[in-house]
Every structure is written in C-alpha cells, then in structure tokens.
Amino acid sequence: MKYKWKIIFSGFVVTQMLVAYPKLVNADPVADPTVSAATTQDQISDHIVNGSFEDPVLAANSVSIASQDKVPGWSTTASDHDIEMMNGTGGKYHNFKAAVGNQWAEINANETGELYQVVKSIPGTIMHWSLYHAGRDQTDTMAINIGTLANHSTVRQVSSPDRTWTRYDGYYEVPAGQTETYFGFKSVSSKAPSYGNYIDGVDFSVYSKTPLQPVNANNGEVIPPSENKFDFPPVNGNEGDQITIDPNNLPDISGYNKPKEPLTVTVPAEGTPINVPYTPVGATETPSQPVDQNGNVIPHTGTDFPKFPGQPGDQVTIDPKNLPDLPGYDKPKEPFTVTIPADGTPINIPYTPTPEPETPSQPVDQNGNVISHSGTDFPQFPGKPGEQVTIDPKNLPDLPGYDKPTAPFTVTIPANGTPINIPYTPTPEPETPSQPVDQNGNVIPHTGTDFPQFPGKPGEQVTIDPKNLPDIPGYDKPTAPFTATIPADGTPINIPYTPTPEPETPSQPVDQNGNVIPHSGTDFPQFPGKPGEQVTIDPKNLPDIPGYDKPTAPFTVTIPANGTPIDIPYTPTPEPETPSQPVDQNGNVIPHTGTDFPQFPGKPGDRITIDPKNLPDIPGYDKPTAPFTVTIPANGTPIDIPYTPTPEPETPSQPVDQNGNVIPHTGTDFPQFPGKPGEQVTIDTKNLPDIPGYDKPTAPFTVTIPANGAPIDIPYTPTAEPKTPSQPIDQSGAVIPHLGINFPQFAGKPRERITIDPNILPDIPGYAKPKSPFTVTIPAAGMAIKLPYVRSLKQPAVNQHQPKANQPMIPQVGAHSSQLVIMIGLALLLITLVMLLLLGS
C-alpha cells in the first residue's frame, strides 16, 4: 500500500498528524478569491513577505485601515481590498500587543475576508508553515487554506481565545507540477463581520528536501513503509553538513527499538534518504568498552559507550563517528569490523594514547630572519605552550655557512604552533689558495700570474668556473666548471692545465669560383701546422660531395693565417638531364608543339620533386596544382607530367524584378550555367525555381554570360493579384439578366473580405442597387461575387430615347438591334420598289 503524503500540524506543544488518502482531512474546497492583481513568477517570492506586518510602519499605539497595495506581500479577498493593521497596543479599541515585532493584523477590516499570499514553490519539497492567531472579544475561528491560487483547500481550522496568542504550524508537500503555492487565512467566525481574527508572525517556506527512513540495524534493509517519510522529522541542512538526530524526535515502529543515543550523520545529496538504524525487538545488545594498546580497559566513568545488536559470533561494523571521545586517547579513525563475543563479554574498542603535541623548530639569523634550510630537518620538541624546554646543540643539524649554538640553552614553547627559533650565526669563512698543475701533477711556473683563493673549510666541495682562472702561455685551462675538494692544512687547490696542442686548420670545399660548397653533415679534415707552412693533401682523405668531383691527385697548399680554412677545390659533376612531356588522364601525350617542357637532372631511378610553377600552360588543360615526386625513368624515356582537361566555368544566376533589382531568395537555389563570358546560353524556365509573389519567364530565353563572374540576371515579374467577376442577384438569389451591362471584377484571394462601394456598380432598369458600402467574402475560384439588387416599385424615368407625345412607340432594343431593324426596313422598301416597277411594266 503506497502512502500518498501526510501533513503534520501543531498548536502549543501538541502535535497532530493528519493522513490523507488521497485528500486532506478537513480539506474543504474554497471558492476562488477575488484577486486584485495578477501574480507572476517575477512578482512573488519563495517565502512569506512581511510576515509580521511591520511594513508600513504605523504611529505608536495606533490602528490603520489601508489599501492592500500599501501593505507589501499581502492581498485580501475583501471587496474594498482594505487590510487592518495595529501598532503597539493598537489603541483603546484593541488594547493588545503583537506576538512578533511591534505590529499585527486583523483578518476582517470592514467585512469578512481572507488574507493571503502566493509564493514560489518546488514540486516534491516539504514546506513548513507557522503563525500566531488570537480572538478579539471572544474565541475566534479561522480556516488555513493551502493550494493554488485557483484551487486551494482548508488544511486546518483553528480557534483561539480572546487576546491570547496561540502558535500553530505544520508541513505541506508541494504536489507535482505546482510551482506557485497559495497560503491564506479566512475568517470563519468572529464577533462581527468587520471584527476579529488577529494574526501575526506568519511564515511559509521550504523546510526540507532530505527524508529520513528507518532501516534494520542488523541487515540495513529498509523497514516498510519507506514512503512514510513524514513520520520522521524533516532534515535541516545542506549537502555535506554534519547534523545530529535526537532519538526523542524519532517515531516508534512496532517490532523495533529506535536508537537510544543521538546520531551524527552527513546530509547526502538532495533527495537521498538518511538511514536511521532501528533494532528488531528481542535482539540482544552487547556493550562495548575502550581498551588501550595492551588490552587494558581505559577508565571511562561518566562516558557512555554504545551497545551493538546481534548474536554472539555475528560481525558488526563500528563507525568511529558513533564512539565518544576520551581525554588523553584517540579513537579509531576509520570504520572497523568486530565479532560479537560470547557470554556477554563487552566488545573491546581500541583507543590509542594521544601523543603529546610537538612544536617544530627553525634556524634564524642574528636579525631573527629564518635561514633557508630546505632538505635539512630540524627537531620537534614535546611540551605545551608556555613550558620551558632545554635544547642541546648536539641534537641540532649543521647548516653550511652558519654555526649552531655551542652550549645547551632554554626556550619557552610559543603559543598557537609557532616554531621555536634556534639562533645560528654566520660562519667566518677561511680561504684556500690555488695553483696550476700539468697532467703529471707538477706545478706549472706562473710567476707574475695571480691565481684566485677559494672560501670554505677543509673537506668542503667548491665549484671553480674557468672564467675566473688566468691564462698561461703554452697551456689551456679547463673549458667547463669543475668541482674540487678543499684540502687540509692549507695546501693549495690544484687547478689542472693541459699543454696547448699544435694548432690545426680546418678545410672546406669550394667551387671553381671560390665559393664555399654547402656540405652540412659532411666532415672535412683539419691539418696540423703553423700559418705559412706547406701541407700535402691526399684526395683519398677527402669526403665525397653529391654533385661535385674532388681532386683526382695529391696537391699542396699553404696553411693560411689567422685560422682561415684551407680551400679544397671541387668541380661540379656533369649531370644527365631527362626531358618531360604532358600526358592526359589516359596516359596519352598531349600535343604541345611550340611549348617547351623542362628537362630534369638526375640518374635513372632517382626521385625528383617537380614544382608546377616551372611547368608551362597548355590551352584546355590544367597542370598539377602542388609539387609532386616522380622517378626518373630508364633509357632516356621522357618523364610524364599529368595534365587534366580544364573544366568549363559555370556562372551563377539570380532573380531580378522589372527594375533590375535582385529579388531576395534566401534558401532558394538558382542554377549555374556553363560557358565562357560572352557566350550565349539558352535557359529553360522548367529549370528555374519558383519564388513566392513572382512569376518566372514562361518560355525559354537566351542570355549572354557576363564578364568578371557577374551573375546572370533572370527576369521575374510580380504575380498579378487574381480578380473575381461579380453579378447582380434579386431577393430570391436569382441572377438578374444584364446583357450589355458590364459588372466590375474585384481583386483578392478566395475567402478574403472586401468592401464594395455602390458608386462603382452599374444601374439595371427596374432594379435598385445597394445604397451604402457593404462587405462580401470572395468565393472560391470560378464563382462570381453576388451583388444584391432590389426590384424597383417606381416607373423608370424618361430618358432621351423615350418617344414624345403622339409619337409611335419604338421598342428600345439596343444599338445592335436598332441597326438590324433599319436594315430590314431598307430591304422591305427595296422589295416594294421592285414590285412597283414590275407592275408598272
């Protein structure tokens, strides 16, 4: 069975629990209040605003009836929208005081009404509400309504004595989908409609998002019903907070014992339950006791140790968070598992003696500045702040360049963990002379050349930089810094010098013009000897250089002065060249008479890279676009250069109106047309897209491809608005004959409404047209607009065709009919004349 939700109320110290299945107990529907102004998410808060009615501030000991728009946060269903508030004693008519702050309100101002607010809410969260209520001159009753602005219910009805504040509170779970929650107080009974139901200290806000759930202490299984979360107190705190749960606030569960000691837990992620261990009734509990490292019980009178449920031999895991602290001892730091002993023997909890705090030390110079001592550990000294400790210098480390104290000394341990300062003094440094020695360790004569002295104590290592050593003719000093040990008894430091070797002159290859030939990565020999001396060079000892030939026989050169390299003459190696030719994608040679193609040096099988920049153009073909590598073929066969047929250029097109302006056509693709500028192309309108509001050409047409890539203009014309014919009808809807009388056509699309001016409509003899403009709906395509005419009761007025008095009536049958009558008359006259002539003869 699933428990839907519960609401808990309390008044004074009495707590009542109402269980709703699925509606609230005493949850009476409440009619929608008359709302003075619409609320929006931007206008409302997530909690009650001005809950103790301190705004606006009233004069001391006064009463005020003001419009709700002057009272922040609050609205009323009263028809006059007035809210009554009091300050201090509220004057002689109220003679009371606020429950919270200096001001309070009365639900009824001038008539029975309901005070309310709407707050933002999060579906699924628990909201807590509380308020103070009192009667006026009697016991007053009010209803507490919660829900939505359009649909809320009475969750509780409360009655409070005359001028006696009573606090009420409860919890409300926000239903799914409800992002705004209504909280209101409606007067149910009072001494008069404009009287009673004092209210103050109103609060309605999110209370808890983390539920508690009971679990079996033996196996960790949830004790049903796990959904019954409102039987447990809501949790205050954010994720990661440490909170303590008081067992006195936990409900009893049949068949289980709740915890006996407060529980400390960490608030988990929002919505994750906190497990509360309940012990099955009848399960035995084994006491525990603290023991030291030797297994001796630590005295702990007055400190309660927990008991653990289970049977002898069961394994239980103990969380150190649930163990008490013992002065002078540290409890375990991590959860650990023990076996419940037999015969009721307590479970031993291992505690370790808390080590005495130790204070670190640091070396300082005569100015109190800490001496850098990275890598050198200084001792820590046990004791409490303010205690005296004696430090023996024998226990202090040496620091290069400093002398430690020579005798024991006493210091006071500083407060708050500040290190103890150990005074060190700079060591006066001795200096040792140096002297040059050769490779055999013999001192090199150096009269008149001063050698440096080096500070340090015998046995210390010093690094010597050759830059600081003097030169000695005929000898070379070290080329890189080196380390030496200061000898004992003042013996000089030996500096190794080596005899300067006979100089060697480098060589370099040069071409026939004396230019140095690039030869990076190729080592050329050096030749011993002094400038001006002759040396003979054997070509066998010279390296090869690709593309060049070295000398073929030994030759003699003079060593140049000032270290200039000896020039070795090399000559360029004559290189064969292979011709090239253009081929198409099928490997066929492309005719190219009159177009020279380059030749490429190299031997058959060599790989060479060809740069398209060095290739000629061939009309109708495109050469490669990037450098490419080929292998030089054997036996003089030309190198094939791949050319591809040049694709025909395509010119885009665009729609233009009758003025040549480009018609917007984003999202509509227009075709491109192949051909060169100046060429004629014929465009089939079937290949052109439609553009709303425009008509494309109706027949194929020819255009000239413009120069410089300009688009081809495609002429489109605005689509003419369709016109619908009209016809006259009489009262019965029958079409009135109107041969020879033209009726107008009207622009517009089917189902559009248009207004027709009677002045543009023609007259029909015997009928009257409409007298004022009227509106009609354009019918579907192919149907005429019907124009209502009414048969006229008056005789038609005499016009220029009406016969005068005593004039025979000739029917007016229209221009064409009149001509026909005349022609018939002339024919009859002619026949009469012919008959008379025949009779006369």
Does residue 689 surpass a pLDDT of 80? yes
Last residue of a domain, one of 176, 208, 240: 208
Q: Do 46 and 121 lie in a common domain?
A: yes
Q: Assess if residue 168 is contained within a domain.
A: yes
What value does the mean pLDDT take over residues 121-141?
91
Rounded CA separation 69/81 (Å): 9
What value does the mean pLDDT take over residues 496-519?
91
How many structural domains are present in the chain?
8
Q: Do 181 and 169 lie in a common domain?
A: yes
Q: Assess if residue 680 is contained within a domain.
A: yes
What local confidence, expressed as pLDDT, does residue 841 receive? 60
Rounded CA separation 228/212 (Å): 9
Lowest mean pLDDT among 25-39, 249-263, 364-378: 25-39
pLDDT above 70: percentage of residues in the chain: 90
Mark residue 155 as left, alpha or beta (left: phi above 0; alpha: psi -120 to 50; beta: remaining). alpha
Which residue type occupies 344?
A: G
Q: Assess if residue 466 is contained within a domain.
A: no
Q: Do 276 and 307 lie in a common domain?
A: no
What local confidence, expressed as pLDDT, does residue 774 receive? 93
What local confidence, expressed as pLDDT, does residue 19 receive? 27
345 compared with 636, residue with greater pLDDT: 345
Closest by CA position to 436, among listed 490, 383, 477: 477
Q: Do 698 and 784 lie in a common domain?
A: no
Q: Do 16 and 157 lie in a common domain?
A: yes
Q: Do 714 and 753 lie in a common domain?
A: no
285 compared with 736, residue with greater pLDDT: 736
- pLDDT, one tens digit per residue, over 406-432 is 999 999 999 877 999 999 998 877 889
- pLDDT, one tens digit per residue, over 725-751 is 999 999 999 999 999 999 999 988 888
Rounded CA separation 107/185 (Å): 8
Range of the domain at 240: 212-280
What local confidence, expressed as pLDDT, does residue 443 receive? 94
Which residue type occupies 301?
A: T
Q: Do 302 and 187 lie in a common domain?
A: no
Burial 109-134 (b: 16+ CB within 10 A, else e): beebbbbbbbbebeeebbbbbbbbbb
Rounded CA separation 290/303 (Å): 10
Q: Assess if residue 496 is contained within a domain.
A: no
Q: Assess if residue 153 is contained within a domain.
A: yes
Closest by CA position to 203, among listed 153, 108, 132: 132
Last residue of a domain, one of 180, 208, 236: 208
Tokens matching residue 713 = 């203009």
Last residue of a domain, one of 667, 688, 718: 718
For residue 826, the 8-state DSSP code is H
Q: Do 295 and 416 lie in a common domain?
A: no
Does residue 626 surpass a pLDDT of 50? yes
pLDDT confidence band for 125 (50 / 70 / 90):
confident
Does residue 6 surpass a pLDDT of 70? no
Does residue 234 surpass a pLDDT of 80? no
pLDDT confidence band for 3 (50 / 70 / 90):
very low
Q: How far is CA 626 from CA 608, 612, 618, in A?
A: 14, 6, 17
What value does the mean pLDDT take over residues 56-75?
95
pLDDT, mean over the chain? 86
At residue 167, φ and ψ (nearest 5 deg) are: -90, 135
- pLDDT, one tens digit per residue, over 778-789 is 998 779 999 999
Does residue 309 surpass a pLDDT of 80? yes
- Coil/strand/helix, residue 834: helix
Q: Assess if residue 667 is contained within a domain.
A: yes
Q: Do 29 and 112 lie in a common domain?
A: yes
End-to-end CA distance of the chain: 134
pLDDT above 90: percentage of residues in the chain: 61
Q: Strand 274-280 relative to strand 212-216: parallel, antiparallel, unpaired? A: parallel
Does residue 28 surpass a pLDDT of 50? no
Q: Do 596 and 562 lie in a common domain?
A: no
Does residue 99 surpass a pLDDT of 90? yes
What local confidence, expressed as pLDDT, does residue 623 receive? 93
Does residue 96 surpass a pLDDT of 90? yes
502 compared with 345, residue with greater pLDDT: 345
Alpha-helix residue ranges (DSSP H) falling in 444-531: none
pLDDT confidence band for 720 (50 / 70 / 90):
confident
Lowest mean pLDDT among 712-726, 756-770, 803-817: 803-817
Rounded CA separation 66/524 (Å): 108
What value does the mean pLDDT take over residues 667-674?
92
Q: Assess if residue 452 is contained within a domain.
A: no
Rounded CA separation 438/809 (Å): 161
| Look-up of token digits 């500028």 | 677
What local confidence, expressed as pLDDT, does residue 207 receive? 67
pLDDT confidence band for 203 (50 / 70 / 90):
very high
Q: Assess if residue 505 is contained within a domain.
A: no
pLDDT confidence band for 193 (50 / 70 / 90):
confident
pLDDT confidence band for 212 (50 / 70 / 90):
confident
- pLDDT, one tens digit per residue, over 102-116 is 999 999 999 999 999
Does residue 490 surpass a pLDDT of 80? no
What value does the mean pLDDT take over residues 351-365?
90
Q: How many other C-beta atoms are found inside a 10 Å radius of the C-beta of residue 63?
A: 18
Does residue 15 surpass a pLDDT of 60? no
Q: Do 252 and 223 lie in a common domain?
A: yes
What local confidence, expressed as pLDDT, does residue 726 receive? 94
Is residue 790 within 8 Å of 765, Cβ to Cβ? no
Closest by CA position to 174, among listed 337, 34, 7: 7
What local confidence, expressed as pLDDT, does residue 208 receive? 65
Query: Bridge partners of 5?
Result: 20
- Coil/strand/helix, residue 665: coil
Question: Who's near 306: CB < 8 A, 6+ residues apart?
Answer: 261, 288, 322, 323
Does residue 353 surpass a pLDDT of 80? yes
397-402 long-range contacts (CB < 8 A, ≥24 apart) are 397/373, 399/363, 399/371, 399/373, 399/424, 400/460, 401/426, 401/427, 401/429, 402/363, 402/365, 402/371, 402/426, 402/427
Spell out where 612-760 has E strands: 621-622, 628-631, 639-642, 644-645, 650-656, 672-674, 680-683, 694-695, 701-704, 712-715, 717-718, 723-729, 745-747, 753-756
Q: Do 657 and 609 lie in a common domain?
A: no
At residue 632, φ and ψ (nearest 5 deg) are: -65, 125
Does residue 230 surpass a pLDDT of 80? no
